[in-house]
Amino acid sequence: MEEEEQRLDHPSLHLLSAVLALEPSESLISYARVCGGGSITEQVQKFIWDHCLSKAASSQLFTTLYADFNAPYLKSFLKKLITEVELERGHALDNLYELYAQYMTSIKDNSLVKSDARICKRISFLFPDGFSELQSCPHSRVLVFPLQCSLNMLEGDTGCSIWPSSLFLSELILSYPELFSNKSCFEIGSGVGLVGICLAHVKASKVILSDGDLSTLANLKFNLELNHLSVEFEMGERNKNLSMVKCMYLPWESASESQLQDIMPDVVLGADVIYDPVCLPHLVRVITILLTDTKSYTCRQNASCGGLSPNTEHEDGDLNDSNRHNCNDGSDSRQKEAPVAYIACVVRNVDTFNCFLSLVEQAKLEIMDLTGSLKPVNLLPYMQSYNQASIRLLRITCIH
């Protein structure tokens, strides 16, 4: 955002942030009414034109990637905006009519709806007053990340869509940076990369992102570079002048034990990864290996390490480090905090969710529901399409 936009009042900032995030037109209209004290005044229309639409109008009409993929969205919004103004017996600005007429004559509603179509959303995290002391909060109290996303999330391109739980984990990371700063973090199923970008922002010591779909990985790499992060694949070079994030191709069903043990993260994250019962055994196997600080996953599976009962509870889910090192080969005697996994999900199917819980218990992992106790700050107050309260947050650790 421009410096002048960072000083906007809350209603105007919410309206602008909603436009940048490509929120539904109904949300934009409701914010426009709030800005105008109940109606969409000419002053509000001028704000929309100056801050939200003028750049699109001056882009020489669809000559740039950004203009191309957002044109149908802006066309739909303009139609809704002009209609609402006229229903209020107001006068829509000539600029709005002219831009809408350009869209009407230049594009068709379905002209960009194709399997590989992409749109660019800009996700703005708005920090409330009093949070400037947090490491994650910029001086402007506004943090904006552009993300290239799929236009067809319901047609199989799910990995390139922004899912609610990734928004939740991103808010969690920015709200509690101390949980992730200076720690090695690994994400399972990274999608568009928003969680990884937030981890890099709070200065995680290492950020490793993974996905089992190559097209999703390509889009992920694009988004990391779009946010000025250097990308390293397993044998890749990196620009030492930029923050580095590593990307991995990692299908859960074929991930090897040695490959996972080489990662050795402090924190594992997963957003909306509990969706397919067929994939769940593979997912739980991956999580178990990542949380087991041993040279043998078989040792962990046979419960031959440690000596504590699977039902033993530890305060705050922490593990006994001495038992952890009993599973080691003795080559590293340094005390290391037990790794932890944070899994955020929307429970869309109760049976699938319960299947995941059962598999976690069978793997002798300890699972704790933190939904009511570890709540992120609402940093996306303008995003009416996202409901923070719909997300479950699970903390998973290894039991010895």
Of 106, 132, 164, the domain-final residue: 106
Same domain, 88 and 195: no
Place 158 in a pLDDT band, splitting at 50, 70 and 90. Answer: low
Q: Where are the beta strands (DSSP E) in 142-289?
A: 142-150, 184-188, 206-211, 229-232, 243-249, 267-271
Same domain, 294 and 215: yes
Amino acid at 152: N
Considering only residues 31 and 53, tell me which one the structure prediction assigns the higher pLDDT: 31
**Lowest-confidence segment of 50-64, 160-174, 336-350 by average pLDDT:** 50-64
Paired residues of 269 in beta bridges: 187, 342
| Tokens representing residue 89 in the block | 């017996």
Same domain, 209 and 278: yes
Place 230 in a pLDDT band, splitting at 50, 70 and 90. Answer: confident
**Lowest-confidence segment of 62-71, 145-154, 165-174, 245-254 by average pLDDT:** 62-71
- 328 pLDDT exceeds 90? no
* Winning range, highest mean pLDDT, from 42-56, 240-254, 264-278: 264-278
Q: C-alpha distances in angstroms, 104 versus 57, 76, 79, 87?
A: 13, 10, 10, 21
Place of tokens 């990734």: 166
Same domain, 94 and 233: no
Place 244 in a pLDDT band, splitting at 50, 70 and 90. Answer: confident
Q: Closest by alpha carbon to 89, among 39, 129, 49?
A: 39
- 252 pLDDT exceeds 80? yes
338 within a domain of the structure (yes/no): yes
Place 231 in a pLDDT band, splitting at 50, 70 and 90. Answer: confident
Residues 384-388: what's their mean pLDDT? 93
Q: How many domains does the chain have?
A: 2
367 within a domain of the structure (yes/no): yes
171 within a domain of the structure (yes/no): yes
Which uninterrupted H or E stretch holds 368?
A: strand 365-369
Same domain, 49 and 166: no
Q: What is the pLDDT of residue 337?
A: 82
Same domain, 75 and 215: no
Q: What is the pLDDT of residue 321?
A: 39
138 within a domain of the structure (yes/no): no
Q: What is the pLDDT of residue 157?
A: 52
Of 106, 141, 174, the domain-final residue: 106
Return d(Cα 71, Cα 69) in angstroms, integer.
6
As a whole number, the mean pLDDT across the chain is 81
Residues 118-142: what's their mean pLDDT? 81
Same domain, 95 and 165: no
Return d(Cα 85, Cα 40) in angstroms, integer.
6
Distance of CA 374 to the CA centre of its chain: 17
Place 140 in a pLDDT band, splitting at 50, 70 and 90. Answer: confident
Same domain, 213 and 332: yes
Place of tokens 């074929």: 254
347 within a domain of the structure (yes/no): yes
121 within a domain of the structure (yes/no): no
Return d(Cα 202, Cα 187) in angstroms, integer.
15
Same domain, 165 and 246: yes
Which tens digit of pLDDT belongs to each residue from 273-326? 999 999 999 999 999 999 986 544 444 444 433 333 333 333 343 433 333 333
Q: What is the pLDDT of residue 129?
A: 79
328 within a domain of the structure (yes/no): yes
- 5 pLDDT exceeds 90? no
Q: Which domain holds residue 75?
A: 5-106
Helix 194-201, helix 164-175: angle, nearest 10: 10
Same domain, 157 and 288: yes
Q: What is the pLDDT of residue 65?
A: 41
283 within a domain of the structure (yes/no): yes
Which tens digit of pLDDT belongs to each residue from 37-55? 999 999 999 999 998 887 6
Same domain, 158 and 92: no
CATH number at residue 162: 3.40.50.150
Same domain, 235 and 367: yes
61 phi/psi in degrees, rounded to 5: 50, 90
- 235 pLDDT exceeds 70? no
Which tens digit of pLDDT belongs to each residue from 161-208? 899 999 999 999 999 999 999 999 999 999 999 999 999 999 999 999
Return d(Cα 78, Cα 98) in angstroms, integer.
10
Considering only residues 155 and 164, tell me which one the structure prediction assigns the higher pLDDT: 164
